[in-house]
Chains A and B, each alone.
Chain A
């Protein structure tokens, strides 16, 4: 993975309101952490960040951070997490994971399929993408931005497993190698219900109730204590 240059500066203000104000000025709050250094709050330019993500297919990037006004201005980091606004998709916060060039790291990499599966083309099957991300371990410079799987030879009822993924040199997959990543299967036939069946659909109130535990406990306890209910019954009559 090629490293991308990015400028950042130290952020003194924390808390929610300060971060809101920061975003309003076109800066994005960020944090950097790692094994070697203490966590530090940073801020990056929103436009520069958007531009960086726009020119890459995935958010898995190796970044050459230049931190202004800091004792250690040059840092190599991985983009660990990007928080987006759920509706607008704008970047809200970014986590950088400081890494060493000589130390292996484990990250999740997206898996993409290429080609049209033979089972889909000829057999009427559906391609099922089971795992969208896989964990890989490698040196930062060897890490792939994403993995590609050629599914053109995939027949119906066949699958590609984690152990069968084509990996670049120096990269190893972490996890159970027998887990299915991509599969091709026949679609389930869904039968349209007849109009008569619609008429017999259950009403909203026709729902079964989960029995209360209290009732069950009372029902089981009653036969065991044979004398107790007999005493209780006359007492109830007296009350009346």
Chain B
């Protein structure tokens, strides 16, 4: 099931800015291990869903997974071969705006090698650089 808001007040949004570092959602808050992004990007529903599937399949449905970002932002795109003007295009997808230091996923209840591999597989589905982080420094 694709992640998107259930109800919104306004369907189409402005593009906004992605400057700065993440000031919230930048610590491992629920699980033991996490995936931190090192770049800024729009992560769309398909990418997040692909990550979720990769993590749950690798953990063989053991442990627990938290998805710390949600695609709250809609973006529009003009159809192909359409002249400019005549208003904003139709909705294309929903994206989560992520900044450096945002924690994207957290897992718990699995050993570190499994968590590390699950996060590596998830990171391969993303268009940005990420790093594996742990709550405890070893």
Q: Which residues of A contact B (CB under 8 A)?
A: 86-87, 120, 126-129, 132, 187, 189-190, 193, 197, 201-205, 207-210, 212
Contact = CB atoms under 8 A, between A and B. Distances in A.
A197 B49 CA distance: 14
17 contacts: A87-B38, A126-B62, A126-B63, A128-B108, A187-B64, A187-B109, A190-B61, A193-B1, A197-B1, A204-B91, A204-B92, A204-B93, A207-B6, A208-B6, A208-B7, A209-B7, A209-B8
Interface of B: 1-2, 4-9, 11, 21-23, 26, 32, 36, 38, 56, 61-64, 74, 90-94, 100-101, 108-109, 135
Contact of B63 (A129, A187, A209): A187
Nearest to A54: B137
Provide the main secondary structure of the chain A interface: loop
A160 B77 CA distance: 52
A127 B93 CA distance: 36
A207 B8 contact: yes
B108 A129 contact: yes
Contacts of A87: 21, 36, 38, 100-101
B2 to A, nearest CB: 5
Contacts of A207: 4-8, 11, 74, 91
B63 to A, nearest CB: 6
Contact of B61 (A86, A120, A127, A187): A187
B109 A127 contact: yes
A204 B74 contact: yes
Looking at chain B's contact residues, is the secondary structure mostly helix, strand, loop, or mixed? loop
B6 A201 contact: no
Contacts of A203: 91
B137 to A, nearest CB: 9
B1 A201 contact: yes
A205 B1 contact: no
A203 to B, nearest CB: 8
Contact of B94 (A128, A132, A189, A204): A204
Contacts of B11: 205, 207, 209
A187 B9 contact: no
A126 B64 contact: yes
Nearest to B37: A87
B94 A126 contact: no
A198 to B, nearest CB: 9
A128 B43 CA distance: 29
Nearest to B53: A192
Contacts of A127: 108-109
Contact of A210 (B1, B9, B135): B9
Given A207-B5, A208-B8, 10 more contacts: A87-B101, A126-B62, A126-B109, A129-B108, A132-B135, A197-B1, A204-B4, A205-B11, A207-B74, A209-B7
